[in-house]
Structure 1
Amino acid sequence: MFKPSTYSCCCWCSVPSVRDHPSAIVHHLTYIPYHEDRDEMVPLNSIQNSGSGTENEPFIVYRNPRMIGKENKHLRFVCMSDTHNDIDKIHIPHGDVFIHCGDAVNHRTSSRDIVRFNDFVGQLSHKYKIFISGNHCVCLNPKRPDKSQKLLTNMIYLQDQLIDIEGVGIYGSPWRPKRGCFYRAEAFGYDSKHIREDKWSKIPDGIDFLLTHVPPYSIRDYNSSTEEQLGCPDLLDEIVTRIRPRIHLFGHMHSCYGASSYKSEDNRILEGDQFQTDSNDILFVNLAIHQGMSYAKSTVIDYYY
């Protein structure tokens, strides 16, 4: 729907700047981003998503709203991202599926610390453990995901791959628009002009969970130092016009931790000809745990399907 001219590029920019691209309207469920005006938030009115994402009050999400109030199978997902060598300092509730959306380590010591991370995850009680890379995981070879999987023996490593967990479809992709050559933590950076065609267009529709490291443009992607939204516009477009996952999990932008709900009826301009009145809401969650001198909490989701 939108062409590569969405971007203006400079080799020293933190990411290619986005111009003239529609922003998504979302309803914040937890932690309204500090740069947004609380008076401008649209009140949430939805029975498809409930809860606060905590161990005692998990987000409750249904694959289909017609399932509400009926007997359904469900799995508990315990999710996080951007732990940067401090995962052992974080309380990790028990659940069925553990998900980590990248930057488990710091780039300077990633080769050593990814081994420690793998050992720690191996001690968790969750039946399934899933990991995608982040920009700090420079020790993982983008061209050899098989080698990354051999290194990460205690979890399922996803790189542009769809898996089925007891009937729940989960797709993971670690890519993000490439930043300027000044930056060293640059694993899985990709040419912004080709990332949609080469990466995002390969994501299948009809999935339950989408895992990426980068956020979609305008959804919990604000960078306070540059005062820009640094999510990927092509990822946003693919998600809302075609993929339509029930849940999109990501990290990367530490200052925008929290959850938001997307509703099609509020985004007709963004969805254009693809707008459908019967579309399910999408739960977007920025899982970035590391908050400088403090840590956010794991996000817990009970998924009924």
Structure 2
Amino acid sequence: MTATLSLLAATALLVSGCGAEAETSKDDSQRVPGLNELLPQKVRDAGFLTVGTDPQYPPCDFTNDAGKIDGFNHDILMAMAPRLGIEIRQQAIAFDGLLPGVQSGRFDAAMECITDNAERQKTVQFVDYAYATKSVITTSENKQNITANPLTTCGLKAGVQTGTEFVEDAELFSKNCQSVGKGALQVTNFPTAGDQNTALQSGRIDFAFTNTATGVWQAKASNGQFKIVPSPLLSRTYVGIVVGLDADGTAKALLGALEAIIKDGTYDKIMSEWELKDIALTEPGINLATERPLELPKICGACGS
């Protein structure tokens, strides 16, 4: 199931994956009573739910050697589908188009390790299915001597991907630097994770922000060309499947399917196979960033040193 990609091969596949699709086959034998009826009539009539993703974040979502969408998110969706009594079809799009795609009705849902936060909850709902931790990623040479102390990043060239929560993380790092009289980060926004990685390897940026699981994957896939650095300024968060504000039925159906695969052990098996048991969320929920909030990081100067 898990594909191991060289960095160059992964980059090529990620670029070519924009038109990729993935879907389940229909299997009524595992249907959970009552869940299908919660879905919109148009979804039930069509027999499938369309879920947008940006397959450039292994192990969350990526395009494998066969040109198919893969990753632990994909496996979770494929396990959920028969519990809902429908197919689930994934469609690839750039990350910054995922939430607007849900809001406009282009997608019934979106799933790509998307961080649940209060600001995003103003426009969409989250069905939270896992935790996420974040880290700084730099090259293995680490020429700038970046450590867990966030002040070691002050004044350096940082990369963030447009539309991600890493934009706000970079702002917090800059404020932390300025709180002790040091220079803010020099931030460059990139449209894709692949562009960001290329800039990091070429030396155009000194470091970037990443999902820890994705960073660890990149380090392995590149034979150690990258180094992952934890930081006390980067919080643990919830990630969720995104649905529209008015899609209460869909949210409840997806939550029910998640609870079903957790109860029967399928979820735990998936997270174990992807070596992600440390971010497993065994009590999923809707909009947990506000319903069951986690502690947020604060300006802390040289914390982590």
Q: TM-score range by the shorter chain?
A: under 0.3
Choose between structure 1 and 2: higher helix proportion: 2
When the two structures are superposed, what TM-score results if normalisation uses the length of structure 1? 0.26
